[in-house]
Amino acid sequence: MTDFLLVGGGIIGLGLAYELSRRGMTVTVVEQGEWGGQASSAAAGMLAPLKEFSQPGPMLELGMKSLELYPDWVEQLEAITGIDVQACKSGLLTVALTEEEAIPLQEKYKRQKASGYAVQWMTGQEMRRVEPLLTEEAKAGIYSPEEGHINNRMLLNALVAACRRLGATLVSGSVVTKMAIEGSQVVGVETTTGPLRAAHTVIASGAWAGIMVDWLGFSVPVRPVRGQVASVSSSGIPLRTVIFGTSGYITPKLDGKIVLGATEDDAGFQRHVTLSGLSRVLDGVMPYVPALHSAAFQQAWAGLRPATADSMPLLGPVPGWQGVSIAGGHFRNGILLSPVTAKVMADYLESGREEPLQPFLPSRFLGSTMSK
Ligand code: GLY
């Protein structure tokens, strides 16, 4: 019997397990495959709330809060584990190649600037001073100097090591087959490797969260959205800044890779890379950095993002049950939102206060007829 059982060993489950362990709780994490083996390791590792959330509002606030938490989170993890997670405040350019593309971007810039966010409007020439490898075709765009990226695979390694160091029990290769229930209380789960019991169970199983919550008769709309991604070597391409175009992004990492993404495919739970997906990714990014045409191809891969019907995460108790919560539905932003999710969920699990989780409470979908 443990205080908390985390179902899912991705960036969200491990992040929360780390935070709860740090606060002195006993924690078990169960993962069906490898640690972070799904969307968490497939991600490009961008820390880019201003790019991802155009409108000022709860998602942008949540994302900015998480970005603020990152330096301390990284410092703690690096101090505990000695693992360099390669955090980099590279800045990010969102680029318009035509006057027409610049119009909605300028609207977004004005909204974010008026709300006090650190964004700058730049001409093509100004952007090329920030990033000399940007195409001469760039007309205008937004520069956000506070955004950047992290090596998500190293971050996962650090979280696993930190959880172990703090005494958490980590069980991988174990598939959860059902929830263990006594009356209206969830008391843990049954797995292919035996029962696991906890005072409180948190479902943090990414694209699979909807299936598990369904077992409790709560139909919460979480669906997988496949992202196909490729990487090339940065050798001879000294790119510094993350670049977003209208249908893709280019992320220069500190480990010698440039990560290029990403499709958004409705392909159920299929995780394979398709030739048309790969070609869409490459066509989407090459116009922005001509040097990419001669880059050495390394790898292509895909992951399943957990999408909700309103594109907001699910944070808080499963309605109608005691002893069970969800931390999921982070869609394109699990890496970015891991520290803030760990903090707000750990606060809730310690205090029982749901109100700070508004508007992300799963109960917003009670009685919903939205399809998965
Ligand atoms: N965060 C970028 C993506 O999901 O493709």
Among residues 261, 287, 307, the one where a domain terminates is 307
Average pLDDT over residues 61-89: 98
Q: Are residues 316 and 267 in the same domain?
A: no
Among 146, 149, 130, 148, residue whose Cα is nearest residue 138: 130
CATH number, position 290: 3.30.9.10
Which of 291, 307, 323 delimits the end of a domain? 307
Backbone angles phi, psi at 303, to 5 degrees: -140, 165
Residue 62 falls within a domain, yes or no? no
Quote the ligand 1 centre to 313 CA distance (angstroms): 15
pLDDT tens per residue, range 8-38: 999 999 999 999 999 999 999 999 999 999 9
CA distance 118 to 147: 10
End-to-end Cα separation, the chain, in angstroms: 33
> How many A from CA of 228 to the centre of ligand 1?
9
Best residue among 11, 46, 152 to mutate for probing ligand 1's pocket (most ligand atoms within 8 Å of CB) is 46
Extract the runs of DSSP E, i.e. beta strands, from 132-212: 140-144, 148-149, 169-172, 176-182, 185-191, 194-203
Asked if residue 336 is part of any domain, the answer here is yes
Full domain range(s) for residue 283: 89-146+224-307
Residue 63 near ligand 1, beta carbon < 6 Å: no
The predicted structure's pLDDT at residue 370: 44
Tell the residue nearest (CA) to atom 1 of ligand 1.
332
> Contact 241/282 with Cβ under 8 angstroms?
no
Residues 305-351 pLDDT 10s:
999 999 999 999 999 999 999 999 999 999 999 999 999 999 999 99
Q: Categorize the per-residue pLDDT at 367 as very low, low, confident or very high, splitting at 50, 70 and 90.
A: confident
Q: Return the SS3 of 228.
A: strand
What does the pLDDT read at residue 358? 96
Residue 202 has pLDDT above 60, yes or no: yes
Ligand 1 neighbour 303 (Cβ under 6 A):
no
| Phi, psi angle pair for 28, to nearest 5° | -120, 140
pLDDT per residue as tens digits for the range 158-192:
999 999 999 999 999 999 999 999 999 999 999 99
The percent of residues in the chain predicted with pLDDT above 70, rounded, is 99
User: Which is more confident, 159 or 368?
Assistant: 159
pLDDT value at position 1?
86
Q: Which residues are within 8 A (CB) of 247 and not within 5 positions of it... i.e. 6 or more apart?
A: 280, 284
**Looking at the structure, do residues 253 and 285 belong to the same domain, yes or no?**
yes
Q: Is residue 60 part of a domain?
A: no
Quickly list DSSP for 8-32: --SHHHHHHHHHHHHTT--EEEEES
Predicted confidence (pLDDT) at residue 199 exceeds the cutoff of 90: yes
* Ligand 1 centroid – CA 262 distance (Å): 7
* 252, 298: one domain: yes
Model pLDDT for residues 118-152, shown as the tens digit of each residue? 999 999 999 999 999 999 999 999 999 999 999 99
Which pLDDT does position 221 carry in this prediction? 83
Report the pLDDT value the prediction gives residue 368, as an integer from 0 to 100: 66
How many angstroms separate the CA atoms of 143 and 50, rounded? 10
Q: Is residue 349 located within the same domain as residue 280?
A: no
What's the CATH number where 353 sits?
3.50.50.60
Domain count for the chain: 2
Ligand 1 binding pocket includes 44 (Cβ within 6 Å): yes
pLDDT in tens, 249-304: 999 999 999 999 999 999 999 999 999 999 999 999 999 999 999 999 999 999 99
| C-alpha span between 95 and 292 (Å, rounded) | 16
Nearest-CA neighbor of 224 among 305, 140, 143?
A: 305
Q: Residue 299 and residue 194: Cα distance in Å, rounded?
A: 37
Burial class (CB in 10 A: 0-12, 13-18, 19+), 163: buried
Ligand 1: residue whose CA is nearest its atom 2: 332
- pLDDT, residue 372, reads 37
